[in-house]
Structure 1
Amino acid sequence: MIRRNTFILEQPKVEEPVVMSGIDRQNIMRLRINRIAIVQELRVEYILNYLKDCGVINEDDQRKIDMGTTPSDKARRLVDLLPSKTHIQDWYQSFKEALLNPEGGPEVKKRCKSMVEFLDNTVIHRPTSQNSRFSGSDASSMKLPHYEPLPMIDKEPRKSIPQNVLNLDSERHKGTVMAVREDYTAEKGVRDVVPEREDKMIPWSSDQMDSMTLVKGFFQQWVSTPDNFRSLIQVPEDHFKRLQESPALVDKEQLAAETKTLEKMRKLELVTVMARRKLLPEGFELCMCDVVHEVLFDKDNYHFYFKYLKNLELSDVNLLVDVVSSFASIMNNMEPTKGGVNMEQAVKLGFNLIDFVAEYGYFTQAEVIMTVLLMVLNKSQNMDTWMAKYKGLVKLMHFRNMNYDFQGVQMAYNLSNELMWKINMMSFGQDLVDKGEYFIELSTLMLEYGSSNSSFGYIQKAMKEVRTEDPANIIHALCQAVMVYSAKWSIKRAETLAVEAVQQAKEHFGCRHPLYIKALLHFCHFSSEFKQDQPGVDVAKHTLDTAKIVYGCETIQLALAHRALAKALLVVQKFDNMDYHYHATEALRMARGLLPDKHPMLHLFLHTSASALQWKALHSSKDLQNSTLRLAETQAIDALEIVATHYSEISLCTARMCVLLGQIKSKMDMVEEADELLHRAIVYMKLCQPENSNYLLLAMATLATLHKIFNRPKEAVNLFSHVVTHVDSAGVYLKWVHVCFDHLINTLQSLNQNKEADEFQIQLSQWLRDNPVYDKQITLEDLTAKPEPFSKFLDNFNVWEKRTKKVLDFAKKIVATGEDKS
């Protein structure tokens, strides 16, 4: 009988340790050595059914594998899972047979077969510690050594003072004793081969470090953790707590991703410490470490690493510079003429490293990596290196466009164009070149130079060439198309593209991804230019809130989100509070902190801030008005100096900055200077824009308004008449054109030219009939709707082009029939 409140404690069952054979250990080591190549090349869906039939994996295993968000993530989960299957007979042989019999076409079978060859050709050597342990041993060497007595333990132990081990540059040049635990596999047994739990949530504020760290790369060793190591990474606990307490599924998913990111960053920080203090095994390069690869191939989560990197930069620690230097060291010793998997993996690693540092804003480091890559690739002249060089040059165009280095883009374009010609001259070369991204970058370059027609032609080609299985470039193409169609004032089609870009980004990447923010920013640009309504303000606020959650630190994308909201508030003239000024100021402050002095991108933020200041002056007291306008003038002059330097004096950007500065001067009652600036803007636009360009006509309308305000009615009438006669509204109501009609009619009436005023009144009525108000509102709900497949969207979008082509083909057929009869 058992008494109440009495518990029986059962003897815990002790599981017998799994005995692992030497062959299993060697096979596991083969998987580890080839892990990077397998993760990058393998698509698990081709072999999962075979592994299930062989009993190597079960339903629970497949569920864990399917939790991977990318093909590489799923492959990594499978590779990490296999070492725990040593209790299954022939588990490794079944894995190889699955690779030799994949459920795919010839190309898939070829790739899988090459993975089997990598595994078979991997030679596993016995650890050197084993040789030294058993070779040449005698009776005297087997005696236990004599140890001195341990010192007495103090009653009050000394507290170790943590130090910034990442900042000890002198350690790089000192010889440091390295304690390495070798032959760890034999000692730790099966514990080391159990895959890491990727789904386990690590404690956010835990700074505890193990005394030993497993450093993994092409080979693995246990290395002693540096003494007094203290992580400099600050964990955003409040941010994590908000995500954890949120009931939204998207917040839970982001929390899981950010937790893994934090764990990888801590590993990367620690390994960098070891590299700087010469604690890594001899010959071990930082860029070949597994954790570096895990970070660089985690492309969908690059943005989660940025806040930790910036956090380390505050302590004068720059991990990326160390990784880039390590990669350059590896590439300088590479022999591309031999080719092989090492060269291929090095190029992939280099491209991913470029993507990471460019997205982070380290364009100088991206240039260093690309220079090293191209120098190595230029040593070989075969098709594989040609293709790698072409991809590298297109990537070079991309991040130089991001950095507003347009002369550099032209140089990369010339090289890539020459290389494309070589590849296309090969009998099978035309099918190899992917021109989608190439045309996107050309379109971007042409638009920045103000050549909207050339940019339009290239973006049309890009949208046809971009591959449907490449959603990232689909988003890039759609966003660039929004800018091009907006520049051509094709409003309805620009709206269609802007909505499609946001919907496609959300469909493929979710609403917590930089590409989703990029699509939203392009929609905000379109909305502020043409829609100018309250839903546009709501979308801009949503964009800013999303950017704050996604990045968690100050980035150029967050600055652009502040700028987008400031513009949205300005165009709807929401001046009941100073929010528009706050967001414009925040955008400029962030941009100045993130970009070098006089960087060409700064002109965007200076333009928005100066515009906000001139509106603030109009709603300020007389005492503040003059000082506010002087500040706006200073910012506009700075912006004008930047664009004149980087875009040349005769350019669309320079002309638009002259217009803004002229508007500010007019509000400061500096009429002559304002008149001179607006005339200069018109002259510049006539030299670089078509004669019916709406940008040119809008500048003329601004100068005409200045003449009207300062009692120059005849000059105003001439300019207003030219604007309303030559404007092409493309069937859409434009408010500024309506205002021009009204000003023209009122000015003519003030001059007693009533007949001319009546004629323009009739012309206005006709214009309003032909260009009705387009008041369709686009809300957040519209932007979150599920899109149709991109190929179908493209067919519907180009319906007029198809119809025109059909008519032309029919006409050619008729002509050919007539010639045959004759």
Structure 2
Amino acid sequence: MSSKFLPPVAFRFYDSSRWTKSSLDNWSDIQLQNLLKLKINRVAIVQQLKVEHILDYLHDEGVLTRRECDFIIGCENPTDRARILVDILPTKTGQCDWYKLFKKSLMNPDTDSEDIKKQYRMLIDFMENTLLPEQLQVETERRGSDAGRLPYYRPIPGISKFWTGTKEAPRTSETDEENGRSGRRKKKCSFTLVDLDEANVIFPAWYQSKLTESDRLFNQLSQSKKEEDKKQLSREETALETMKKLEFLFTLQNDDLLTDEFELCLSNFFHKFVTDTHYIPAYLKYLHSLKDSNSIDIIDEVSSRMIEILNEPKTKTERDLIKIFEIVLGLADILLEMGNENKAENLLRAAKNLTNPDVVWYYRLDAVLIKIHIDRAEFNEARALIQESPKFEKSAIYVQTARLNREEGNLEAALEYSKKALEEAAGEETFKTEDSINAKIEMSLTEALMWRLKDAEETSQNAFLVAEANYGKRHPIFYRACLNYFEILKQFNNDIELYKLTKRLLYSVETCYDSGLSLLVADVNRLMASIMIALQQDQSKWYNCATKAVETAQELYPPNHPKIAYFRATLAQCLYCVGRLENKKEELTWAEKEASTVLEMYRLHWGEESIKTALATALLAQIQTKLGKTDEARAALEVIEQRHSSTYLQVLIGSFYNEISAPVEAINILRKALQPPPYTQKVFLKWISKAFELLNALLHACGNIQGAYEIESEYSDWAVANNELNVEWATVFIICGK
């Protein structure tokens, strides 16, 4: 509706921006605030308000006259009705408390729709939580001083008094002054860090955080008698308060209510936030909550701002550089925890451009970049980065080099680099403990692949003990070491004991992360599912664990990310076991689909020759056998047999031949797998035990009693020789703590 068609009473208030200096002179501070709240939220109110829900109430309370109500209702366009109402309301200043009555009308609208009532309550929240930067300008114009600052708005303590560096020269460009907010995002920032600490962040009375504590978690921790739970409760309370402060500062900076010198991403407050790793699990759930519920991705936006700053050529002091690198590395770790690999990579590369290869921090940035490439199975890119950093004989680089060689199947080289990493870590200062743990984890994984399982157990146990001694039992590094230790122990015989330990670990991890989105939560659920599959019990539980692991990984990473393949492989195995035990074709068909997807992902990222591809092929063949697709399964396994001499794979193939009633082929390949018997392992491996038992049963079935007797004797000798150095589970329980 054009303004020229409005009657005089509406035309006078059609444009609420016409308030002049003289017309505002007699208004109180509260009245000015109410006017600004209405103006700032005008668009949202006009779009969402249906005036017929509140007009009668406003008329009964004396806010609107009958003539004004009739005129508003006479407009055909609902948007025009709301717009005219919003323009009329401020004219009632001095006659009634129109703002208070307007809020009451929204709280009690004339409608039965719960959705509309909820929508109006949100409108009220918007108005009540409105930041009022324009109020300062209005008050200054009216009174010619700073006296008009809102009485209940207390900005954070003058940041300028905490400023320790040299400010830039004042801007002289009129364009920058006129651009307002858009100009701030383009301004050149100093690299000097503002010393704003957490204690200096004070909430004003009007501020309402969107974050709330988890009642379930806080009740669980407060009622627990465990010492670790009590410590975590204290950390959770601190983390929630810190997150609210981060949210508050982020809001102020986005609305340009902080000084130009202040940058959140460079502040001491944010430095502590990203580097105090004990609180990261608690921070993650709140960061995900803001992202999912309110579409506020603080870490992503702060990272973007950091990249802008790093790309600006400035003169840096050594002290500034060290702090910037610490912030970048901590921020990159959080981004990776949230699955945002692309932003983490951009951030790290921007930081690399800031320095040069002669700076010692350069290798640390490279190490994380190499890790990202290996996580994506981008092995050529990872190797190129390693070759670019030949001068840095540092533990972090050696760990990633060892991992790259392990992923590519070069186990001897991987073990050698793991040992180098451990040696270098002993001589470091800042990252000595963390690098030492990472080196031991990598070494144990390589030893396990080489079937040096007793060595792997001892190495992983040592990493576990070092992590516990230095970080405690509720820290991400401890959880990684513990998970690796249990993965190694899974190779041994006593599944029920490991089940108890893993169940305890799962409780601890889900309590610490509050069952939130984390790759660690997914990994522990995957391990739990695989152990319960081996035990063949609690079907619903291990199915739930396998499903949760996959869903968590899929929420964190893109559909074809290599990491998802690990979790889908466990789910496929889970579905296969359910289908086999209960003879359910639907589960078997689903398992075949999952296994086929996993196989394609392994082929794509690791190639046809990889042991991962071979294991996925063996799993798919097992599923196809139960579905009656024997020829397809046999053809696939014959290819594996020709390419790989792994004892483990030969046992799998022997089991397959037994499954399809081909005893001769099964006996031949099982004999090949167990000749000579693997005495040198010095570990009682359950799958070798099952191979002996299967071969013995097949020989008996074929009438080869003499052969069966020889296998029984061989099995007995092997069991005695290897059981002496088996895992002492009582010791493991003591190590892990009751």
TM, length-normalised to structure 2: 0.72
1:537: Cα distance to partner? 0.3
Matching residue of 1:618: 580
Matching residue of 1:319: 298
Work out the CA distance in 2 between the residues paired with 1:264 and 1:738. 54
Matching residue of 1:286: 264
Say if 2:507 is the partner of 1:545. yes
1:592: Cα distance to partner? 1.6
Work out the CA distance in 1 between the residues paired with 2:137 and 2:260. 12
Matching residue of 1:698: 648
1:523: Cα distance to partner? 2.1
1:754: Cα distance to partner? 4.8
1:304: Cα distance to partner? 1.5
Distance verdict in 2 for CA 1:326–1:180, change over 3 Å: farther
Matching residue of 1:298: 276
Say if 2:438 is the partner of 1:560. no
1:757: Cα distance to partner? 4.5
Distance verdict in 2 for CA 1:569–1:162, change over 3 Å: same
Q: Residue 360 of structure 1 aligns to which amino acid in structure 2?
A: M
Work out the CA distance in 2 between the residues paired with 1:480 and 1:627. 39
Distance verdict in 2 for CA 1:349–1:735, change over 3 Å: closer
Matching residue of 2:718: 767
1:224: Cα distance to partner? 12
Matching residue of 2:236: 258
Contact 2:338 2:517 in 1 (8 A): no
Measured on the aligned residues, the alpha-carbon RMSD in Å equals 3.3
Matching residue of 2:144: none
1:662: Cα distance to partner? 0.8
Q: Residue 608 of structure 1 aligns to which amino acid in structure 2?
A: T
1:750: Cα distance to partner? 4.5
Distance verdict in 2 for CA 1:335–1:320, change over 3 Å: same
1:526: Cα distance to partner? 1.5
1:530: Cα distance to partner? 2.1
Distance verdict in 2 for CA 1:323–1:465, change over 3 Å: same
Q: Deviations over 1:147-186 (max 9, x none)?
A: 53545361845537223999x9xx9xx996767999xxxx
Work out the CA distance in 2 between the residues paired with 1:450 and 1:178. 66
Work out the CA distance in 1 between the residues paired with 2:195 and 2:405. 50
1:240: Cα distance to partner? 2.1
1:771: Cα distance to partner? 2.9
Q: Deviations over 1:693-748 (max 9, x none)?
A: xxx22222222222233333332232122111145341223333233334334444
Partner SS, residue 601 of structure 1: helix
Matching residue of 2:310: 331
Q: Deviations over 1:420-448 (max 9, x none)?
A: 3xxxxxxxxxxxx5x22222212222222
**Aligned mate of 2:634, from 675, 686, 696:** 675
Distance verdict in 2 for CA 1:460–1:751, change over 3 Å: same
Say if 2:548 is the partner of 1:590. no
**Aligned mate of 1:445, from 404, 413, 416:** 404
Q: Residue 212 of structure 1 aligns to which amino acid in structure 2?
A: P
**Aligned mate of 2:395, from 428, 436, 441:** 436
1:580: Cα distance to partner? 1.6
Matching residue of 2:331: 353
Within 5 A, what are the aligned runs for 1:69-468? 147-148=25-26, 150=28, 152=94, 154=97, 156=100, 158-159=102-103, 161-163=124-126, 211-214=154-157, 216=159, 218=163, 230-314=208-292, 315-335=294-314, 339-378=317-356, 383=358, 385=359, 387-417=360-390, 419-420=391-392, 435-467=394-426
Say if 2:722 is the partner of 1:722. no
Q: Residue 314 of structure 2 aligns to which amino acid in structure 1?
A: E
Matching residue of 1:508: 470
Aligned residues: 577
Work out the CA distance in 1 between the residues paired with 2:480 and 2:138. 47
Matching residue of 1:804: none
Partner SS, residue 163 of structure 1: helix
Partner SS, residue 466 of structure 1: helix
Contact 1:499 1:523 in 2 (8 A): yes
Partner SS, residue 732 of structure 1: coil
Work out the CA distance in 2 between the residues paired with 1:755 and 1:626. 40
Distance verdict in 2 for CA 1:574–1:508, change over 3 Å: same
Work out the CA distance in 1 between the residues paired with 2:138 and 2:231. 38
Q: Residue 568 of structure 1 aligns to which amino acid in structure 2?
A: I
Q: Residue 405 of structure 2 aligns to which amino acid in structure 1?
A: M
Matching residue of 2:479: 517
Work out the CA distance in 2 between the residues paired with 1:678 and 1:454. 29
Distance verdict in 2 for CA 1:727–1:484, change over 3 Å: farther
Distance verdict in 2 for CA 1:740–1:232, change over 3 Å: same
Work out the CA distance in 2 between the residues paired with 1:362 and 1:180. 42
TM, length-normalised to structure 1: 0.65
Partner SS, residue 578 of structure 1: helix
Distance verdict in 2 for CA 1:649–1:179, change over 3 Å: farther
Distance verdict in 2 for CA 1:388–1:176, change over 3 Å: farther
Work out the CA distance in 2 between the residues paired with 1:361 and 1:747. 49
Partner SS, residue 317 of structure 1: coil
Work out the CA distance in 1 between the residues paired with 2:300 and 2:265. 11
Unmatched 5+ stretches in structure 2 = 1-23, 29-92, 104-122, 141-151, 164-193
Contact 1:655 1:682 in 2 (8 A): no
Say if 2:473 is the partner of 1:497. no
Unmatched 5+ stretches in structure 1 = 1-145, 183-208, 421-432, 686-690, 787-822
Moved more, 285-294 or 227-236: 227-236
1:401: Cα distance to partner? 3.7
Say if 2:532 is the partner of 1:569. yes
Matching residue of 2:435: 473
Work out the CA distance in 2 between the residues paired with 1:364 and 1:246. 40
Identity of aligned residues (%): 23
Work out the CA distance in 2 between the residues paired with 1:634 and 1:706. 19
Partner SS, residue 409 of structure 2: coil
Contact 2:337 2:518 in 1 (8 A): no
**Aligned mate of 2:662, from 696, 709, 712:** 712
Work out the CA distance in 2 between the residues paired with 1:758 and 1:660. 31
**Aligned mate of 1:657, from 616, 622, 633:** 616
1:215: Cα distance to partner? 6.7
Q: Residue 603 of structure 2 aligns to which amino acid in structure 1?
A: A
1:522: Cα distance to partner? 1.1
Distance verdict in 2 for CA 1:741–1:253, change over 3 Å: closer
Distance verdict in 2 for CA 1:735–1:781, change over 3 Å: closer
Distance verdict in 2 for CA 1:455–1:756, change over 3 Å: same
